[in-house]
Structure 1
Amino acid sequence: METIDTLIKARWIIPVEPDDTVLEHHALAIRAGRIVALLPSAEADDRYRADKVHELPHHALIPGLVNTHTHAAMSLMRGLADDLPLMEWLKGHIWPAEGRWVGAEFVEDGTLLAMAEMLRGGVTCFNDMYFFPEITAHAAARAGMRAALGLIVIDFPTAWAANADEYIAKGLALYDDHKDEALLSFCFAPHAPYTVSDEPLKRIRTLANELDLPVHMHVHETAHEVEESMARFGMRPLERLAQLGLVGPNLLAVHMTQLEDAEIAHLAEAGAHVLHCPESNLKLASGFCPVQKLLDAGVNVCLGTDGAASNNDLDLMGEMRTAALLAKGVAGDAAALPAAAALRMATLNGARALGLGEETGSLVPGKAADVVAVDLGALESRPVYHPVSHLVYATGRQQVTHVWVAGKALLKDRRLTTLDLEAIQARAMAWQERLKANA
């Protein structure tokens, strides 16, 4: 018999690759943080001797969810300024609060809060865009979570940097310091076309090409953004980015609620990725991303939550359901964005956008063991005819019971193993009192 570290036996395994596959009464074998095999549970007992065996007779195993767009530390601003349009929300409330409070301590406490929430909801990898990314790197290492760190760039000064040159220099230093860490990856993260001028964008294009890093950016988020770009530059934001050489396989364009058919074709031809945040878009009344049109054109579409300040949660399972339902309404077609496609958007599509498709996003031998167990045995999930549909339409994040990242258990029977939940909650309450007192 072969010796392995972990054997997980489940009622169903949904590997995402191949598409729409469900394996019943199967087991997942893990050695040294990687998936060794998927095989019938009875065969696994004969073939493997495992240090740890998990029997999950009512569970579905899925790949770890990939949250492709977050501002993790903004969890401390959850509910701070609700029911406002984007620019009023940003200029009148969020940017002033950030100017007053954002620093290393804020980012550490907010990121720990966000990671605890995401892990309890089955997220094993998040793509972050925020200040003090070096603090986020240390927090992710503490949690044992996979993170893509945004090397943020914006024209105006903040507590982290004074100008675009300093943002880029500090980002490159962070990349050099951490580029060999297994659970960390990097993206350039210019905030948006309306907050980053041409020269920094040209430099980011050159550096992204040299280092082969994605460029993670809010693009075509609102009609106002497009109108402002037409007034300032005489062209739509996507056209401006194309002229600057940024529309290509490295572009991770977030939101994309304002798209014309020709732009969709351009994105597909260029190999760009769209990061869809349906609940944030709905809450801010930003518009509707034409998901099915993008998928039909061949564009890789992924899912993100956005920050908890505008969502107001980091629940990627909830985003799957919202994305699937919204896509049907926007397309006028009940067959648009079926459940298997929504699950793929939340897993493999996101991993591929981040350049991590060979490492995570599906349960395939050789990949990292980023695995989530979801209990479908509760009354609210009975009966189970199609487990993939159940995951999207009938299951909530509270049914996530176990999470592994690179084979390490980070959530076991709903308990976090690497993060101190009570301490995180206490710090969040302390920040609440500070922000309330100075609102």
Structure 2
Amino acid sequence: MRKIAATYVFPGTASPIKNGNLVCDDAGTIIDILDRGDSFREEAGVEFYSGILVPGFVNAHCHLEFSHLHNKIEKHNGFSGFLEQINRLRDEPADKEKAMQIADRKMWAAGIAAVGDVSNSELSLSVKQKSKNYYHTFVEVFGFHPSRAERAFTKAVEVVESFENAKLSASLGPHSPYSVSQELFEKVKNYAEQKGGLFCIHNQESTAETEFFLSGSGDILTHFRDNLKLETTHWKPSGKSSLQSILQYLPKENQLLLVHNTHTKISDIEALKQDRDLANTYFVLCPNSNLYIQNELPPVDLLRNEDLQICLGTDSLASNTELSILKEMLTIQQNFPDVSLEELISWSGFNGAKALNITDTFGSFEEGKKPGVNLITGIDFKTMKLTTNAKVKRLI
């Protein structure tokens, strides 16, 4: 048994406990949380740390398959430039498995306990089987031209089944509004409705995506036509935002993760509210990736004002310098100072666990759970803010 105390314990689902004391068994299962309050005194057998204890982080959006592209993609090159470089470099010779193993171990060391990971193949399967992290794999399907719908769908289902046969959690979802034909969207939606489970899609990541749906022009059209050499004459713009254009393809009963949301507006949120219950809808933010690619940030204040469920992701090492949820928290705090530390911690853990349907184990300090225990140091306790010196150390 371990007794771990700190200046504050943030349970993840309740108010911070000053001089809290976490009692865990040797396997890391929470046995009790003790509130010592101002009467705290040193006790034999209690580990005390100056800092805060928080549950293991949940990285709600990652692309482990792109780990070999670390430091290979130019920063601030715009969304179309990023797409072009990914397409050109993703299949270059590299020890991809080793790169994924290193990224996985670094995530664990950085306090991440669970990951929602996007995959296009079985490439990451063996790494996930051996990992200390929990993974849910979102198998991603592409197919802009209708002629590719059947082939792309069949292949993606085979990948889902490979993960499931390996006893790994997995589900099928579309890559983005602009990269999936109506025919393919229908197939994916029908499959998801029949199987239930999680449904994830990249959402409103760039101005190019908006332009593609409003007018049928811009950088995404150029990328499809000139870089990928795709036939684009079938494309007819909807005249609406990308999210509003695909609402009919988002299964209402499935838990939905909308990723990035960099250009989501109030009109999109209102349309979502009219179409589905937002109790099963999660907005995953990857701010450092947005800065890396386009030097933009998501509308955090808008999402907070609308009381939406926010969680955090790192995206991939192709679009981030490191896979660190703490770094994402720091970026949000620096750019949106009204966000409290308690909010950031709930986004980093419990909300992500809710989004991945794993709150029975992860996301909060509650009896019987085994969420992992992180110590964050470098806290300004007067303002209850992270400082630029904030660091995370995994204790369990």
Please state which band the TM-score falls in when normalised by the shorter chain.
0.7 to 0.9
> Could you tell me which amino acid in structure 2 is paired with residue 170 of structure 1?
E
Contact 2:64 2:103 in 1 (8 A): yes
Which residue of 277, 284, 295 maps to 1:270? Answer: 277
- State the distance in 2 between where 1:34 and 1:241 align: 42
Equivalent residue number for residue 13 of structure 1? 9
- State the distance in 1 between where 2:74 and 2:150 align: 29
> Could you tell me which amino acid in structure 2 is paired with residue 147 of structure 1?
Y
Q: 1:206 to 1:56 in 2, by over 3 A?
A: farther
Equivalent residue number for residue 233 of structure 1? 237
- State the distance in 2 between where 1:403 and 1:147 align: 20
- State the distance in 1 between where 2:20 and 2:255 align: 39
- State the distance in 2 between where 1:273 and 1:371 align: 24
Which residue of 162, 167, 171 maps to 1:187? Answer: 171
Contact 1:29 1:37 in 2 (8 A): yes
Q: What CA deviation, in whole Å up to 9, does each residue of 1:6-54 have, x standing for no partner?
A: 3231223211111x322414122236653222125899x89xxxxxx77
Q: Is residue 119 of structure 1 aligned with residue 119 of structure 2? A: no
Equivalent residue number for residue 129 of structure 2? 141
Equivalent residue number for residue 314 of structure 2? 305
Equivalent residue number for residue 293 of structure 1? 302
**Structure 1 stretches lacking a partner, 5+ long:** 1-5, 47-52, 329-334, 405-439
* Partner SS, residue 96 of structure 1: helix
User: Offset at 1:135?
Assistant: 4.1
Q: Is residue 171 of structure 1 aligned with residue 165 of structure 2? A: no
Equivalent residue number for residue 257 of structure 1? 262
Q: What CA deviation, in whole Å up to 9, does each residue of 1:277-297 have, x standing for no partner?
A: 111112222643222222222
Q: 1:175 to 1:291 in 2, by over 3 A?
A: same
Q: What CA deviation, in whole Å up to 9, does each residue of 1:134-153 have, x standing for no partner?
A: 44232123232111112121
Contact 1:189 1:216 in 2 (8 A): yes
Equivalent residue number for residue 331 of structure 1? none
Which residue of 5, 22, 35 maps to 1:27? Answer: 22
Give the alignment of 1:271-420 within 5 angstroms. 271=278, 272-285=281-294, 287-328=296-337, 335=338, 337-374=339-376, 376=377, 381=378, 384-385=381-382, 389-390=384-385, 392-396=386-390, 399-404=391-396
User: Offset at 1:320?
Assistant: 0.4
Q: What CA deviation, in whole Å up to 9, does each residue of 1:85-116 have, x standing for no partner?
A: 1211221x2211113347xx51x222212112
Q: 1:364 to 1:222 in 2, by over 3 A?
A: same
Q: 1:144 to 1:135 in 2, by over 3 A?
A: farther
Q: 1:56 to 1:201 in 2, by over 3 A?
A: farther
Q: 1:248 to 1:233 in 2, by over 3 A?
A: farther
* Partner SS, residue 38 of structure 1: strand
Which residue of 191, 195, 199 maps to 1:211? Answer: 195
* Partner SS, residue 284 of structure 1: helix
- Percent identical among aligned pairs is 23
> Could you tell me which amino acid in structure 1 is paired with residue 81 of structure 2?
E
> Could you tell me which amino acid in structure 2 is paired with residue 341 of structure 1?
E
User: How many residue pairs are counted as aligned between the two chains?
Assistant: 363
Q: 1:325 to 1:57 in 2, by over 3 A?
A: closer
- State the distance in 2 between where 1:130 and 1:70 align: 9
Give the alignment of 1:146-157 within 5 angstroms. 146-155=134-143
* Partner SS, residue 2 of structure 2: strand
User: Offset at 1:217?
Assistant: 1.4
Contact 1:86 1:286 in 2 (8 A): no
CA RMSD of aligned residues (A): 2.9
* Partner SS, residue 143 of structure 2: coil
Contact 2:138 2:200 in 1 (8 A): yes
> Could you tell me which amino acid in structure 2 is paired with residue 17 of structure 1?
T
* Partner SS, residue 19 of structure 2: strand
> Could you tell me which amino acid in structure 2 is paired with residue 66 of structure 1?
V
Contact 2:2 2:26 in 1 (8 A): no
Q: Is residue 64 of structure 1 aligned with residue 75 of structure 2? A: no
- State the distance in 2 between where 1:67 and 1:309 align: 16
* Partner SS, residue 100 of structure 1: coil
- State the distance in 2 between where 1:382 and 1:96 align: 42
> Could you tell me which amino acid in structure 2 is paired with residue 270 of structure 1?
D
* Partner SS, residue 363 of structure 1: coil
**Structure 2 stretches lacking a partner, 5+ long:** 217-235
User: Offset at 1:64?
Assistant: 0.5
Q: What CA deviation, in whole Å up to 9, does each residue of 1:341-382 have, x standing for no partner?
A: 1111111111111122332111111222422233x3xxxx37
- State the distance in 1 between where 2:46 and 2:103 align: 27
Q: Is residue 244 of structure 1 aligned with residue 249 of structure 2? A: yes
Equivalent residue number for residue 66 of structure 2? 74
Equivalent residue number for residue 411 of structure 1? none
* Partner SS, residue 65 of structure 2: helix
* Partner SS, residue 340 of structure 1: helix
* Partner SS, residue 124 of structure 2: helix
Which residue of 98, 102, 110 maps to 1:109? Answer: 98
Which stretch shows the higher mean deviation, 278-287 or 303-312? 278-287
Q: 1:305 to 1:118 in 2, by over 3 A?
A: same
Contact 1:256 1:289 in 2 (8 A): yes
Q: 1:95 to 1:338 in 2, by over 3 A?
A: same
* Partner SS, residue 58 of structure 2: strand
Q: 1:21 to 1:68 in 2, by over 3 A?
A: same
